[in-house]
Structure 1
């Protein structure tokens, strides 16, 4: 295929792409337990159209998609030479992806996706969505039944007001038992839900008469869920549950969530914290500016002169980006943070699951060259690539897309976690789920035992969940498993 180049006519459009999105970069959403393909459409167009009109509209959108993908897609050299631009935009987008195949294309694309509403996508990437305010894991019940176990409930949310709590087992929705064929429609369609609760005894799940009525609403999630300080012998242990890398609320420029994290570490420093447990078990990613902020509060001996991570873009757009924004356009250094506690730390513990992804994995990968990082839990998701949100600056095209555009590397040139980080100590969440922050909760308890030295040979046997997990509501979030990178350093 002839090498594609960024021509003059496209340069102004590319500049607008970065500016209109505040120049952020994200790793794309993984389809929820295989129910979503590489592209997704949020609603169906219910307005009847003639075949000719539909084909014309498809062509307009598809050619817009194609132009951007040929410039920016990480695998732009794999795009077909003459794709069918009469297809519906979601189908067309999927048709030009360099799709992952474990056998024939293990380095292919698992994460690019497209939405038919760019504005909704942008809001959700900042933590605002229509939600009940809780997240849950899904497990098989027998051969075809399904249950949902609540992982956490957001303060002030409809779910909290309905008295739902971490560990609750949902077996029914609106009076229907959940199965492998109906659970998706029951849990993710509509806004009004009556949840029927169940109980767990060992590996047995029983239905109960208890119900909870919840109506989903537009809700802004604060990613800073919990912070505590524990005393373990002579150690002061800081603990932070952080569920998404988001700088501030949707539409806010105050970076209030980053400021809240700064304040927590200021307190850690004042209280003499000398061990840190960072709980990222439910953190699917987010803004890498927030990831850099957090890493800069933790890293030992880090400063704005030291590399946190760098990006590798395709050979088409890299020369253009270097010309426009300088040779360091793809570099993210640490920040100089007076709240940094790194000098008091000899290591950091990170609690992980398969929901720990992208910007969370960036923390692990980015800190490892500077200090020991001990992971406790289960293997992380494996997202070392990123994407930008692309929307039409004219507003004529309503679609928004998240194509993969770069791969990330730490200061040692390492990016070898596409299959996730295997935990140093394997511990699974088991029923009943204890409250987050409870020192008997298995994952936190393991970290505290590691700190106290109360482990044989430096580690204990793995604790495993007896139920078969099918997926999680966290994977359905826009920006789930995401790395959203500000490019303010590109002099916009």
Structure 2
């Protein structure tokens, strides 16, 4: 989870000072570079170290004398609390750093340089080194949309080069990309001479991909596919997308929706306040005036102490409370459904964990990512030539009942795999995950697996280039204290 997009948009990402001198964690001063030249590795590494020792959730695990001569990315990775699936499953597998803090900020606000096409890369056949790409979805109005790409399209080459396990990265390339298309008929994959050319552009994604209402017997099923928790466009101070979500729920309420399917299968997270907004539209039996927690955030001891002392922080800062929006449909629901995959993470998982104390939340698909921790963006505003931005884990999240142990993800109530090569349009009731939810709603299944196990191994995905997390805003006074 990452901290608020407001702090990202205003570049008030806490702990940006290049010479960070803090009580109890002082480091040797680092010389500011006033020339605007690129900062040295030593400067950047010390900037990383000072900030991490103050804010990192596992600050007590940072090595005492790390090697500050390394390249910044290598240094950052060297001081993380190492994750191991067997020996340390509670370790850090989500902190990351990016060479351009401006690009990092844009990514977290849904703006990327993209063709607008998200896809998975798969072996063409079992034990084959040949690779094909399967399109998962296409952003409306993007270059890929204008070129005619659709979900379930398959491509086998890029710029005339057939894809293999060793060169598949060319599918993410810059400049004009010409994709060689294949067809799937009766389970057989055949190359064609058809090509489609697209050129990536800077594109702002609206996270609200699709909303619908389906009538199935006496059930009115509201469906929302939501792909990132982003309050508004990059650079905006208006919560445009949150307001659009509110409008969708106004439609659900007026149409008497009594079942809800929330499609978060590709949603890696985002703004915690946007997650709280969505949860408040769904929660059952909560009065927003009563300070009922949706999520509680736990920081390291030093950051906790400083937040408690901050006049703009205090004990309430550790909580995101439910509100009482007019378009809440909780009273119309006895349960809800969330469509999940391994890409469902962080602020998406907050929805599942945060609502379960109040209502039945069924999950349909595959096991979610297991990201019960969050981060905030740290950048350097000291005219030091340091353009790096980092997104370290700084807090762990809990629900109203202090439950947080989903390090390994949420196991689905109904297990369904996406059938590559036979993908229906998103929002189509024949789509495997949506159909699984509807089957459970109708009482045709009580859980377990639906359909065959997808034996295909994903060897790459464009979705790994999209950021996730749970973004929060820091108390302004702490930020100012550190900037001065």
TM-score by length of 2: 0.87
Residues 401-427 of structure 1, C-alpha deviations (whole Å, 9 max, x = no match): 111111111111111111111100011
Answer yes or no: is the 8 Å Cα contact 1:296–1:303 preserved in 2: no
What secondary structure, in the 3-state scheme, does the structure 2 residue paired with 1:335 have? coil
Equivalent in the alignment of 1:485: 472
Whether 1:154 aligns to 2:143 is no
Equivalent in the alignment of 2:375: 387
What secondary structure, in the 3-state scheme, does the structure 2 residue paired with 1:391 have? coil
- C-alpha RMSD over aligned residues: 2.2
Query: Residue 178 and residue 18 in structure 1: after superposition, are their counterparts in 2 closer, same or farther (change >3 A)?
Result: closer
Give 1:322's match in structure 2, choosing from 298, 308, 312: 308
Query: Residue 125 and residue 157 in structure 1: after superposition, are their counterparts in 2 closer, same or farther (change >3 A)?
Result: same
Q: Tell me, in whole angstroms, the C-alpha distance in 2 between the residues paired with 1:402 and 1:435.
A: 34
Whether 1:425 aligns to 2:408 is no
Equivalent in the alignment of 1:121: 104
Deviation at residue 73 of structure 1 after TM alignment: 0.8
TM-score by length of 1: 0.86
Equivalent in the alignment of 1:35: none
- More displaced stretch, 302-311 vs 407-416: 302-311
Deviation at residue 103 of structure 1 after TM alignment: 3.3
Query: Residue 161 and residue 457 in structure 1: after superposition, are their counterparts in 2 closer, same or farther (change >3 A)?
Result: closer
Deviation at residue 463 of structure 1 after TM alignment: 3.6
Equivalent in the alignment of 2:394: 405
Residues 92-140 of structure 1, C-alpha deviations (whole Å, 9 max, x = no match): 1122111112233322111111111111110111000100001111211
Deviation at residue 460 of structure 1 after TM alignment: 6.0
What secondary structure, in the 3-state scheme, does the structure 1 residue paired with 2:246 have? helix
Whether 1:439 aligns to 2:458 is no
Whether 1:280 aligns to 2:274 is no
Q: Tell me, in whole angstroms, the C-alpha distance in 2 between the residues paired with 1:232 and 1:404.
A: 43
Residues 322-365 of structure 1, C-alpha deviations (whole Å, 9 max, x = no match): 11111222111111211000000000011111111111111001
Residues 250-269 of structure 1, C-alpha deviations (whole Å, 9 max, x = no match): 01111111111000001110
Whether 1:310 aligns to 2:299 is no
Give 1:72's match in structure 2, choosing from 55, 78, 91: 55
Whether 1:461 aligns to 2:416 is no
Q: Tell me, in whole angstroms, the C-alpha distance in 2 between the residues paired with 1:331 and 1:486.
A: 12
In structure 1, stretches of 5+ residues that fail to align are 1-16, 26-52
Equivalent in the alignment of 2:157: 172
Deviation at residue 236 of structure 1 after TM alignment: 1.1
Answer yes or no: is the 8 Å Cα contact 2:415–2:448 preserved in 1: no
Deviation at residue 457 of structure 1 after TM alignment: 4.7
Whether 1:140 aligns to 2:123 is yes
Deviation at residue 464 of structure 1 after TM alignment: 2.9
Q: Aligned pairs, how many?
A: 444
What secondary structure, in the 3-state scheme, does the structure 2 residue paired with 1:351 have? strand
Answer yes or no: is the 8 Å Cα contact 1:329–1:490 preserved in 2: no
Equivalent in the alignment of 2:29: none
Equivalent in the alignment of 2:32: none
Deviation at residue 456 of structure 1 after TM alignment: 4.7
Equivalent in the alignment of 2:439: 449
Q: Tell me, in whole angstroms, the C-alpha distance in 1 between the residues paired with 2:426 and 2:118.
A: 14
Answer yes or no: is the 8 Å Cα contact 2:14–2:378 preserved in 1: no
Residues 377-404 of structure 1, C-alpha deviations (whole Å, 9 max, x = no match): 1111111111111001223221111111
Equivalent in the alignment of 2:31: none
Q: Tell me, in whole angstroms, the C-alpha distance in 1 between the residues paired with 2:415 and 2:274.
A: 27
Equivalent in the alignment of 2:284: 300
Deviation at residue 290 of structure 1 after TM alignment: 0.7
Answer yes or no: is the 8 Å Cα contact 1:329–1:489 preserved in 2: no
Deviation at residue 469 of structure 1 after TM alignment: 2.0
Q: Tell me, in whole angstroms, the C-alpha distance in 2 between the residues paired with 1:21 and 1:122.
A: 8
Equivalent in the alignment of 2:3: none
Q: Tell me, in whole angstroms, the C-alpha distance in 2 between the residues paired with 1:457 and 1:359.
A: 27
Whether 1:371 aligns to 2:359 is yes
Equivalent in the alignment of 2:403: 414
Answer yes or no: is the 8 Å Cα contact 2:346–2:372 preserved in 1: yes
In structure 2, stretches of 5+ residues that fail to align are 1-6, 16-36, 480-484
What secondary structure, in the 3-state scheme, does the structure 1 residue paired with 2:40 have? helix
Residues 421-463 of structure 1, C-alpha deviations (whole Å, 9 max, x = no match): 110001111131111111111211121222222x155666344
Q: Tell me, in whole angstroms, the C-alpha distance in 1 between the residues paired with 2:189 and 2:440.
A: 33
Residues 453-478 of structure 1, C-alpha deviations (whole Å, 9 max, x = no match): 2x15566634433422224211111x
Deviation at residue 145 of structure 1 after TM alignment: 1.5
